[in-house]
Chain A
């Protein structure tokens, strides 16, 4: 029993001692939640008494706060910690104040009695400025809570760099800094990113918070959004603010009234609070001038590969050409590289598929372009190397990639008689449905090739024959015409013919017997007439003398000039006289005389013809 008493007393002694010791270490500090405040805004003045021992503080004397309205307070809160058996405790008295006028003020020292000692706090300075230093908060009743949240909850946007080349990746991170407990949050407004193409980077579903110090205060920090941005234009670009609405769990510490506390939600209440990040400016440098002709805006580091599914095919059977670009950079923005095909290939728009990895620090992945090619004609075909250019921001230069040349062997597919339907006009369709007509089965009528006609003798003869006919006719006609123009020669040559004709007529008359067996008298007259006419005509033609200007004497003289022998001239003269006599005095006209006259005439003409040639 005694021993028990002793132990209790010893414990009490320890407790008292320690309490006294604590009182001796007590501190009293003044603090402001911020150094600058706008007029009409509220701020918190805190006095913290630490290690005051069991007795706590008493008789708190405030400094002169005439420049401020006391909106609430004192709000008292206490805490106690035991760390490794060492007990520490603190009591905080806080006042919410609102400045009355602007300027720089010093809040003087406050005093408090603790453990029989009077403690004095250090003075604190505050600057009151015009206007607001933080977003306007919601309606009056909640001002206090808002103010509390406002200084304990921030949304900060950060980028890993503020100056990039066009198309280069910028990592944008939205972090929430909090000292309050957030029940839930929702993105109210996504940031505006004009001039960027943004890709969300995956973040863990459950926000992990890490401690971080901001302005000397410990915050819990969680990443709520991570983005990879690729500027699509150059110049000064701005990332707009993001707004997040968060439901904040607060506990009202205003009243210490136990009854009031009793009716309150023991977990505090929720307040909706909107936090907003600051806009960020990013300077985007344009790409160097003179890009390669096939550069289409790819920026990063890439590799390219091409594959065909088969090296040889038949006409009209498709080939699959795959071009894969992989690497890091703005993969999504890569356009299909141009594939230069032999012109008899049919080419379709490529099928594009991409596979983008959004988890790492840099966006990476691959983009595949599948070209369907249909060869229409057989032969060895060459697909020229596919080229792809990109800008490498780390090397600060353009890089051009080449694939190897692809050779394809195209064989003739199905028989080409199946028509290639080329046009679409009505007429084509009608004709295509028709077939060619049948072959000719008759005699082929073959001839040596290239010989369309033969220039042999027969041909030439046939060609010349009509010409010769016409020519002959022409020559004959010309001759005849010439003879007609040469009257004297013509008469000369014709004389004998005419004379013979006359003699023939005379002979006919001589031979023709009348009904009495002898020629009739008129017949005899005509006989002499014919003989005479023939002789005269002959001489007229031969000597080229018109018959009208003709007499026996004239004729004899003319004949004499032409060296006709005298006996012939005499005979001719006698004959002509006989004829005249017989015609004008028809007396003794018997057949024998007629016969003699005829013979004489014939003899003279023959003789004359011989001389007058």
Chain B
């Protein structure tokens, strides 16, 4: 009886070892090879497997988006590019590919015009990677602490004056970067953006299938989820149109 238990335990271990035979990094390289051989659908599944294994990285999402695009799933490509952009907003390739994928969808949505300040803000926000931003914020945090310490320990007036001037400068930079970091963390963890995955979805004027049709969306459109009633989600488009659709028609980024 005991022997049997041990055998089962060993077998289970062996099985789990078999599954874990390939490290996620190896799986990633393997998927890249598939992509390079032109087997886009297989590459897509391989990337997807890493993701469902619980791992994530901007490069992985980017490559998955590419594989989706090449295997014909534009909405899938947009979803994964958008997810990658959350983690790596400043990447040029990513921005380009997302733009190309967005050109392929049926609906053209002109974003409502906004103040130029917001473009600057986005530019600053997306300048650092998340890790880089965190390190920078930490650096300024340490500098600020050092300057404060100097201020306390300084015996001469001149030294204290220098400490106050540099310290207030560091404080401003630190606070600003902290706000950026909080905004970025908010971007990464937000769940109110989604991509339409159904080939076509009729957006209603109220959360009811008998309601009048507001407009029609095709796969690949990015929407903002602003409210929820049962299985219905209220969405807002970039151009300001608002309507209700079945939550199953979209996938949260």
Contact = CB atoms under 8 A, between A and B. Distances in A.
Say what secondary structure dominates the interface of chain A: loop
A436 B101 CA distance: 8
Given A377-B218, A467-B145, A448 B55 contact: yes
B175 interface: no
Contacts of B130: 452
Contacts of B138: 462
Interface stretch (A439-447, A510-518, A597-605): A439-447
Majority DSSP secondary structure for residues of B touching A: helix
A419 B200 CA distance: 16
B199 A378 contact: yes
A450 interface: yes
Contact of A440 (B62, B101, B151, B213): B62
B149 A447 contact: no
Interface stretch (A95-103, A249-257, A322-330, A468-476): A468-476
Nearest to B189: A452
Contact of B100 (A436, A441, A477): A436
B100 to A, nearest CB: 5
Nearest to B188: A452
Interface in A408-462: 415-417, 419-420, 422-423, 428, 431-432, 434-450, 452-453, 462
A446 B56 contact: yes
A450 B56 contact: yes
Interface string B56-72: 11111011001101101
Given A344-B200, A422-B108, A417 B70 contact: yes
A441 B100 CA distance: 21
A423 B106 CA distance: 9
Contacts of A448: 54-56
B165 interface: no
B104 A343 contact: no
Nearest to A378: B199
Given A344-B200, A378-B199, A417 B146 contact: no
A442 B29 CA distance: 9
Contacts of B145: 466-467, 469-470
Interface in B209-224: 213, 216, 218
Nearest to A431: B103
Contacts of A439: 32, 35, 62-63, 66-67
B195 interface: no
Contacts of A420: 104, 106
A377 B62 contact: no
B197 interface: no
B136 interface: no
Contacts of A565: none
B206 interface: no
Interface residues of A, number: 47
B96 A436 contact: yes
A605 to B, nearest CB: 29
Interface string A326-369: 00000000000000001110000000000000000000000000
Contacts of A477: 152-153
B119 interface: no
Contact of A469 (B77, B93, B146): B146
B152 A437 contact: no
Contact of B59 (A437, A440, A463): A440
B75 to A, nearest CB: 10
A379 interface: yes
A541 to B, nearest CB: 21
A304 to B, nearest CB: 27
A137 to B, nearest CB: 73
Contacts of B199: 344, 377-379
A452 B99 CA distance: 26
Nearest to A475: B152
A417 B56 contact: no
B195 to A, nearest CB: 16
Contacts of A419: 103-104
| Residue among A377, A419, A446 facing the most chain B CB atoms (10 A cut-off) | A446
A445 B57 CA distance: 6
A114 B131 CA distance: 144
Nearest to B69: A436
A343 B200 contact: yes
Contacts of A342: 200
Most chain A CB neighbours (cut-off 10 Å) among B104, B188, B216: B104
A435 B93 CA distance: 11
Contact of B149 (A377, A434, A469): A469
A447 B152 contact: no
Interface in B117-158: 130, 134, 138, 141-142, 144-146, 148-153
Given A437-B93, A446-B25, A476 B153 contact: yes
Given A431-B100, A444-B28, A474-B152, A453 B134 contact: yes
Given A344-B216, A466-B144, A466-B146, A416 B28 contact: no
B188 A446 contact: no
A446 B60 contact: yes
A273 B148 CA distance: 125
B51 interface: yes
A446 B74 CA distance: 25
A445 B153 contact: no
Contacts of B56: 446-450
B49 interface: no
Contacts of A344: 199-200, 216, 218
Closest 3 CB pairs of A and B: A466-B145, A473-B149, A477-B152
Interface of A: 342-344, 376-379, 415-417, 419-420, 422-423, 428, 431-432, 434-450, 452-453, 462-463, 466-467, 469-470, 472-474, 476-477
22 contacts: A343-B216, A344-B199, A377-B200, A379-B200, A417-B70, A440-B93, A444-B57, A444-B59, A445-B57, A446-B28, A447-B56, A448-B54, A448-B56, A449-B55, A449-B56, A450-B56, A452-B188, A466-B141, A470-B145, A472-B149, A473-B152, A473-B153
